């Protein structure tokens, strides 16, 4: 018995290393290179990183700020990830996000007199759908003309910036202040995703109770199946361990939320990630998307309607990004004001690749990048280092994670099993 559990533990560790080894290695390497750059520019790396950490995790405000920054990153990451699964490089997450944010702001300030349980969800749905429709454009172009989505999505990013700039400077501008600023009016309170609402209304406790009940019932059922199949007690715990831990996660998150440690947008993002994961792994549609991304010829052979899948995938990607924008508007900004870093969706790429192109992987990856962004201001303030160092470190992380993944892919293709088959070249 003992040798069994130790070898199982060792196997568990090895699997753990295989999954997160590459991203962790990339992060460490990038941070090391960051030290070099800081030294070149005459800064003190220790101060810099300390201030960075302080700004991200130093206290509960910092922690909430980190999660707040992480939220749109999760959505962007998901928008990229689902694109990758179908073999498409969706750099347009930024543009789709902006359009969603804009739409949510519009619904938020233009409509009056709705109760909160309609207004807020409406803003979110409106934002998500706007992003989805905007994201569909490159999908349609690719499916019917073979236009490479890298160019079309980047172009659409710029177009989105232009459209939203025009809207906030023109028809949708806030006229209530003396000095006219290029931004929309504030959204109504009923459209906001305020922290305490769900808690105050007691709803959160009902949800919590429902989850606990579900876990208990599910566990009992699993236990009874196990016994019926004639297996013994101890192996049940080892087999069931990981599933159980996964199910505790929602309780953990809700707990944090109640304790005011969480931003509700983050919660929505996590739920979205889980739903996307379930869809990709367990449904026929998810299977079709993945086959199109892995071997488009076999997909056609299997009777999958490839054009439809491409369009659907970009729709879903835009949906995620649009939802992210809507969450930003209704949960943080309370209006739409241009000022998004024109990162052109690069953040989403980093998060998606650090998360190994897995929906659940985007969560820790987004927390990491969000932490860097949250800490950057503190670092600039406290240690006097320009916040752009974050961009540099981020691009290094991207480089290392992509390089390592590809190198391993080339060398150990047989063992890995998950293929990254991004489109290359300009033709279909």
Partner 1 sequence: MTQVLTFVRSRQGKTVIGFFAAVVVIAMFYAAQPQVTQAVLSSTIRHSTPLILGALCGLLCERSGIINIGIEGQMLMGAFMGYMVNVWTGNLILAVLASMITGALLGLLLAYMSISLKLNQVIGGTVLNILAVGLTGYFYMVGLTTAGKLTTFPLGPLAKIPLVGPVLFNNGLITYLAFVLVFVLQIVIYHTRWGLRTRAVGEHPHAADTLGINVIANRYINTMIGGSIAGLAGGFLTLESVGSFERMMTNGRGFIALAVMIFGNWKPFGAWGAALLFGFAIAMQTQLNFMGINIPHQFVGMLPYLLTIVVVAGIVGRARPPAAEGVPFEKE
Partner 2 sequence: MDDNVPVLEVRHVTKRFPGVLANDDVNISLKKGEIHAILGENGAGKSTLLNIIYGLYQPDHGEILVDGERIDLRSAHDAISHGIGMVHQHFKLVPVFTVTENIVLGSEVVKNGLLNMREARRQVRQLSKDYGLAVEPDTLIEELPVGVQQRVEILKALYRNAKILFLDEPTAVLTPQEVQDLFKVIESLRERGVSIFFISHKLKEVLQLSDRITVMRRGKVVGETTPQEADEKILAEMMVGRDVILTVDKEPANPQEPVLTVNNLSVMGDQHALVVDNVSFEIRAGEILGIAGVQGNGQSEFVEALTGLRDVHHGEMIINGKTMPFNNPRVLVENYVSHVPEDRQKHGLVMPYSLVDNLVLCTYYQEPFSKGIVRQEEPMVESAEQLVEQFDIRTPSVTVPASNLSGGNQQKVIVARELSRPVKLLIVNQPTRGLDVGSIEYIHSQIVAIRDRGTAVLLVSAELDEILSLSDRIAVMFHGELVATMDRAEATREGLGLLMMGVTGN
93 touches partner 1 by CB under 8 A:
no
User: Residue 89 binds what, of partner 1, partner 2, none (CB under 5 to 8 Å, by partner type)?
Assistant: partner 1
Q: What is the dihedral of CA 250, 370, 328, 175, to 10 degrees?
A: 160
Residue written as tokens 């018995």? 1
DSSP letter assigned to residue 426: S
CA 412/CA 22 separation, integer angstroms: 14
Task: Rank residues 33 and 274 by Cβ distance to partner 2 and give the closer one.
Answer: 274
Pull the structure tokens for residue 401.
């994670």
Distance (Å) of CA 8 to CA 5, 247, 337:
5, 22, 53
4 touches partner 2 by CB under 8 A:
no
Task: Rank residues 234 and 412 by Cβ distance to partner 2 and give the closer one.
Answer: 412
User: Residue 302 binds what, of partner 1, partner 2, none (CB under 5 to 8 Å, by partner type)?
Assistant: partner 2
User: Residue 200 binds what, of partner 2, partner 1, none (CB under 5 to 8 Å, by partner type)?
Assistant: none
Could you give the string, one character per residue 391-420, with x where binding to partner 1 holds by CB under 8 A and - elsewhere?
A: xxxxxx-xx--xx--xx--x---------x
Are 132 and 315 a contacting pair, CB within 8 Å?
Answer: yes
Q: Which helix (H) or strand (E) holds 49?
A: helix 45-57
Query: Could you tell me the smallest distance in angstroms from the CB atom of residue 320 to partner 1?
Result: 19
133 touches partner 1 by CB under 8 A:
no
User: Residue 189 binds what, of partner 2, partner 1, none (CB under 5 to 8 Å, by partner type)?
Assistant: none
Residues in the chain: 428
Stretch that binds partner 2, among 75-83, 196-204, 380-388, 416-424 (CB under 8 A): 416-424
CA 319/CA 197 separation, integer angstroms: 25
163 touches partner 1 by CB under 8 A:
yes
19 touches partner 2 by CB under 8 A:
no
Q: What angle do CA 22, 27, 32 make, to 5 degrees?
A: 125
User: Residue 284 binds what, of partner 1, partner 2, none (CB under 5 to 8 Å, by partner type)?
Assistant: partner 2
Task: Rank residues 146 and 255 by Cβ distance to partner 2 and give the closer one.
Answer: 146
| Chain center to CA of 235 | 35
Are 131 and 318 a contacting pair, CB within 8 Å?
Answer: yes
User: Residue 394 binds what, of partner 1, partner 2, none (CB under 5 to 8 Å, by partner type)?
Assistant: partner 1
Stretch that binds partner 1, among 115-123, 161-169, 174-182, 203-211 (CB under 8 A): 161-169
226 touches partner 2 by CB under 8 A:
no
CA 130/CA 315 separation, integer angstroms: 10
**Subset of 248-307 contacting partner 2 (CB under 8 A):** 282-285, 287, 291, 294-295, 297-298, 300-303
Query: Could you tell me the smallest distance in angstroms from the CB atom of residue 163 to partner 1?
Result: 7
**Subset of 360-379 contacting partner 2 (CB under 8 A):** none
Choose which of 189, 225, 388, 419 interacts with partner 2 (CB under 8 A).
Answer: 419
Beta carbons within 8 Å of 84's beta carbon, 6+ residues apart:
90, 293, 352, 357, 420, 422
User: Residue 346 binds what, of partner 2, partner 1, none (CB under 5 to 8 Å, by partner type)?
Assistant: partner 1
156 touches partner 1 by CB under 8 A:
yes
150 touches partner 1 by CB under 8 A:
yes
Query: Could you tell me the smallest distance in angstroms from the CB atom of residue 388 to partner 1?
Result: 4
CA 360/CA 164 separation, integer angstroms: 31
DSSP 165-213: HHHHHTTT---SSSS--SSPPPPPGGG---SSHHHHTTHHHHHHHHHHH
247 touches partner 1 by CB under 8 A:
no
CA 333/CA 337 separation, integer angstroms: 8
Pull the structure tokens for residue 112.
């009056």
| Chain center to CA of 346 | 13
CA 52/CA 378 separation, integer angstroms: 6
Chain residues binding partner 2 by CB under 8 A are: 282-285, 287, 291, 294-295, 297-298, 300-303, 413-414, 416-419
Chain residues binding partner 1 by CB under 8 A are: 37, 41, 89, 91, 141, 145-148, 150-152, 154-156, 158-159, 162-163, 165-166, 169-170, 342-344, 346, 349-350, 353, 386, 388-396, 398-399, 402-403, 406-407, 410, 420, 422-427
């Amino acid at each position: 018995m003992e040798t069994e559990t130790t070898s199982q533990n060792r196997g568990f560790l090895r699997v753990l290393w295989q999954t997160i080894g590459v991203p962790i290695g990339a992060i460490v390497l990038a941070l090391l290179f960051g030290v070099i750059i800081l030294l070149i520019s005459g800064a003190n790396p220790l101060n810099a990183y300390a201030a960075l950490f302080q700004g991200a995790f130093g206290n509960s405000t910092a922690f909430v700020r980190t999660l707040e920054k992480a939220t749109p990153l999760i959505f962007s990451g998901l928008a990229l990830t689902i694109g990758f699964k179908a073999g498409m490089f969706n750099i347009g997450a930024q543009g789709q996000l902006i359009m969603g944010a804009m739409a949510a702001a519009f619904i938020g300030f233009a409509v009056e007199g709705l109760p909160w349980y309609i207004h807020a969800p409406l803003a979110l749905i409106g934002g998500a759908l706007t992003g989805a429709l905007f994201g569909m454009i490159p999908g349609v172009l690719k499916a019917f003309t073979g236009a490479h989505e890298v160019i079309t999505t980047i172009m659409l990013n710029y177009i989105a910036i232009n459209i939203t700039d025009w809207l906030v400077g023109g028809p949708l501008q806030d006229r209530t202040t003396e000095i006219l600023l290029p931004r929309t009016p504030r959204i109504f309170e009923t459209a906001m995703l305020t922290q305490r609402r769900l808690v105050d209304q007691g709803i959160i406790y009902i949800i919590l109770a429902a989850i606990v009940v579900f876990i208990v019932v599910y566990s009992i059922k699993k236990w009874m199946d196990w016994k019926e199949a004639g297996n013994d007690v101890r192996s049940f715990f080892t087999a069931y361990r990981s599933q159980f831990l996964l199910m505790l996660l929602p309780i953990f998150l809700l707990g944090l939320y109640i304790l005011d440690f969480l931003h509700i947008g983050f919660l929505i993002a996590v739920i979205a990630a889980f739903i996307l994961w379930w869809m990709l792994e367990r449904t026929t549609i998810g299977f079709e998307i993945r086959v199109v991304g892995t071997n488009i010829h076999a997909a056609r052979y299997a009777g999958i309607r490839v054009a439809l899948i491409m369009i659907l995938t970009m729709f879903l990607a835009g949906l995620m990004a649009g939802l992210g924008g809507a969450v930003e508007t209704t949960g943080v900004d309370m209006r739409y004001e241009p000022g998004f870093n024109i990162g052109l969706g690069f953040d989403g790429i980093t998060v998606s690749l650090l998360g190994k192109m897995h929906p659940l992987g985007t969560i820790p990856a987004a927390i990491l990048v969000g932490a860097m962004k949250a800490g950057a201001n503190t670092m600039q303030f406290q240690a006097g280092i320009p916040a752009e160092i974050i961009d540099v470190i981020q691009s290094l992380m991207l480089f290392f994670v992509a390089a390592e993944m590809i190198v391993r892919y080339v060398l150990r293709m047989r063992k890995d099993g998950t293929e990254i088959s991004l489109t290359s070249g300009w033709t279909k």
